[in-house]
């Protein structure tokens, strides 16, 4: 009897997305301080980083779960968005959805959707009819 594997995809995907996002923010802050990245390019870089982080987390979750790639990829994205909202409400007591906060949330959703669409498992090739390797060794 096969052991039932625990579905850890969403937790692992959320942790990976948060880790990629925080390390990326650290790298972007370093680039801003050095002057390599201009201040006008800071928000587009953060938005792209948000999409890349949720894409990586969504891919991990989509590969590990059996509920379909799109729902499996969107589960860690939802958790990631909840963490962003919790931090936003905790620090600033509100989140303006019409400004840059809404853009970050949409970029996170876009990264998860892209992971759900591209993160499917490869289809197995159908087995050819004929003798198998076992049949050859029986003779």
Work out the burial of residue 74: count CB atoms within 10 Å of its CB; fewer than 13 is exposed, 13-18 middle, 19 or more buried.
buried
Q: Model pTM?
A: 0.77
Q: Could you report the per-residue pLDDT of 20-54, keeping only the tens digit for each?
A: 999 999 999 999 999 898 988 889 999 999 999 99
pLDDT score, position 69: 84
Q: 1 pLDDT band (50/70/90 cuts)?
A: very low
Tell me: pLDDT of 131 over 60.
Answer: no
Residue extents of the structural domains in the chain? 10-119
- Torsion sign over Cα 48, 52, 58, 59: positive
pLDDT, the chain, mean: 82
Distance separating alpha carbons of residues 50 and 100, to the nearest angstrom: 12
């Amino acid at each position: 009897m096969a052991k039932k594997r625990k579905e850890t995809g969403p937790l692992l995907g959320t942790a990976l997305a948060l880790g990629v996002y925080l390390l990326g923010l650290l790298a972007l802050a370093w680039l801003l301080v050095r002057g390599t990245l201009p201040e006008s390019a800071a928000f587009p870089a953060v938005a792209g980083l948000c999409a890349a982080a949720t894409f990586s987390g969504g891919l991990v979750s989509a590969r590990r779960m059996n509920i379909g790639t799109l729902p499996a990829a969107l589960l860690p994205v939802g958790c990631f968005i909840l963490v962003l909202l919790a931090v936003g409400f905790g620090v600033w007591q509100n989140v303006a959805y019409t400004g840059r906060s809404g853009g970050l949330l949409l970029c996170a959703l876009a990264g998860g959707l892209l992971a759900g669409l591209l993160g499917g498992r490869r289809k197995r090739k159908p087995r050819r009819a004929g003798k198998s390797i076992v049949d050859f060794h029986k003779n």
